[in-house]
């Protein structure tokens, strides 16, 4: 998959944030981030909001293509050496594609359940989501082939959500949410001839989707 790239400055600041989170049992996060100010949140690791912003009455949501970035220290070639079957670049692309598609499907379903309309073109009442799954570091792949080459499961040690919320009409960035999941909850889809979705990955993304929907619902100007 050809993954869209953010600017070097954004990627660098994301990387610094993830190192801070990963290295501390009680994460210390920066007070500001590219003009946004840290706000208290019980939903995410960190929520940054544009100072003095008045959120419009959003009734519709546009979800951009999900960006997927594996940790630079996770080596697919090394993973392939530990499997009876070859972990090809095509398999990695397939994994990225599955994660992006499933992420969008789960978010769209949860937002619709909350009464939001999913749109492809922004209107005056649209909030635009730009999500990224980054800092993805996998445990050693598990061979589940049972005699069928090319079937294995990849389980993540960690992954981080970074998502910008923009006003759909003006393009003004209003907020950024950051949250890290780690451990058994983040089980990625199996790679096989069929597109299998594992419960762990869906549970992690579904949790994020619910948190976002609750955050939108909690806005004081929400009708």
pLDDT at 208: 94
Q: What is the pLDDT of residues 5-55, one digit of tens each?
A: 343 333 334 443 444 444 444 456 889 999 999 999 888 999 999 998 888
Question: What distances in angstroms separate CA 123 from CA 127, 210, 223, one per listed residue?
Answer: 9, 23, 17
Can you tell me the distance from the alpha carbon of 135 to that of 14, in angstroms, rounded to the nearest whole number?
9
pTM equals 0.75
Q: What is the pLDDT of residues 104-154, one digit of tens each?
A: 999 999 999 999 999 999 999 999 999 999 887 655 565 656 555 556 566
């Amino acid at each position: 998959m050809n993954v869209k790239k953010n600017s070097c400055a954004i990627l660098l600041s994301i990387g610094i944030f993830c190192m801070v989170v990963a290295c501390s049992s009680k994460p210390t996060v920066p007070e500001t981030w590219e003009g946004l100010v840290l706000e208290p949140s019980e939903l995410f690791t960190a929520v940054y909001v544009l100072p003095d912003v008045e959120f419009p009455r959003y009734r519709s949501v546009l979800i951009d293509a999900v960006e997927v970035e594996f940790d630079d220290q996770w080596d697919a070639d090394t993973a392939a050496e530990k499997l009876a079957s070859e972990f090809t670049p095509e398999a990695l692309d397939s994994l990225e594609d599955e994660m992006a598609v499933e992420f969008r499907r789960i978010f769209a379903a949860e937002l619709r359940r909350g009464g939001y309309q999913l749109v492809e073109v922004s209107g005056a009442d649209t909030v635009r989501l730009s999500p990224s799954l980054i800092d993805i570091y996998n445990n050693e792949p598990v061979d589940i082939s049972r005699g069928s080459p090319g079937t294995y499961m990849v389980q993540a040690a960690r992954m981080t959500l970074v998502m910008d919320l923009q006003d759909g009409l003006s393009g003004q960035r209003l907020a950024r949410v950051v949250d890290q999941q780690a451990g058994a909850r983040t089980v990625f889809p199996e790679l096989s001839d069929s597109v299998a979705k594992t419960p762990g990955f869906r549970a992690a993304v579904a949790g994020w989707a619910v948190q976002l929907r609750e955050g939108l619902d909690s806005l004081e100007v929400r009708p």
